[in-house]
Amino acid sequence: MSRLSHIPNLGGAKAFVLHRQHPTVQAISRQLAAIGLEVHDCWPDLPADVLAGDFVFFDVDMGFDEQFPWTPGAAPMPLIALIGSEAPGRIEWALSHKADAQLVKPIGNSGVYSALLIARQSFEARQRLAGEIAALEARVAERQTIVRAVGALSAQGFDDERAYAQLRSLAMGWQVSLEEAARRVMAMTREEEGDGQSRHA
């Protein structure tokens, strides 16, 4: 039984090569063009339209943070590090930008295609993980809001069990989720506390 290919078609994708004029750039550009990518080489800065790009190759040896229009580690596309020197400081800098793949210089006549595929898969996996983490953090924050709302209702004379039942009853009455009801309870609690403070002012 044959397996379906999950290898994406990269034809028409846009790649930026952030590297000073060098045989490395020519070698990468030849391979990218053969694969069907649109190639833009630039140095020392990335152009504004890089944000519409699909891949960025960047020079680890002479690169610096200010070349990128995003904070380190927050690139909106896959990054491929071009490594010549294995100096620890340079490798650490590349890692701070969360490079998704790497190519070791000098670049020969192969390697770019596999680097593109690995970089895209790594980037997409990292994006999925970031989304899952954000969703989990949001759920934890919602739970904390529910706990605080139950605490606010308990302060009105309910025990925790009755306060939670009251919160559920409010949610059904308002026809909203338990989390939304908790947010409303907390908003009303803050308003009451604000009114109380203004009366005592």
pLDDT band at 7 (very low <50, low <70, confident <90, very high): low
Q: What is the pLDDT of residues 157-188, one digit of tens each?
A: 778 888 888 889 999 999 998 888 998 988 98
Q: Is 105 a member of any domain?
A: yes
Do residues 39 and 99 share a domain?
yes
186 token code pair = 């907390």
DSSP 45: S
Residue 28 pLDDT > 70: yes
The confidence score (pLDDT) of residue 134 equals: 85
Residue 24 has φ and ψ, to the nearest 5°, of: -60, -45
Q: Specify whether the CB–CB gap between 192 and 156 falls below 8 A.
A: no
Lowest mean pLDDT among 27-31, 57-61, 164-168: 164-168
Q: Is residue 85 part of a domain?
A: yes
**Which of these ranges, 75-79, 114-118, 148-152, has the smallest mean pLDDT?**
148-152
Per DSSP, 105 falls in state: S
Do 106 and 139 lie in one domain? The reply is no
**Is the model's pLDDT at 82 over the cut of 90?**
yes
pTM higher than 0.75 for the full model?
A: no
Domain that holds residue 172: 135-200
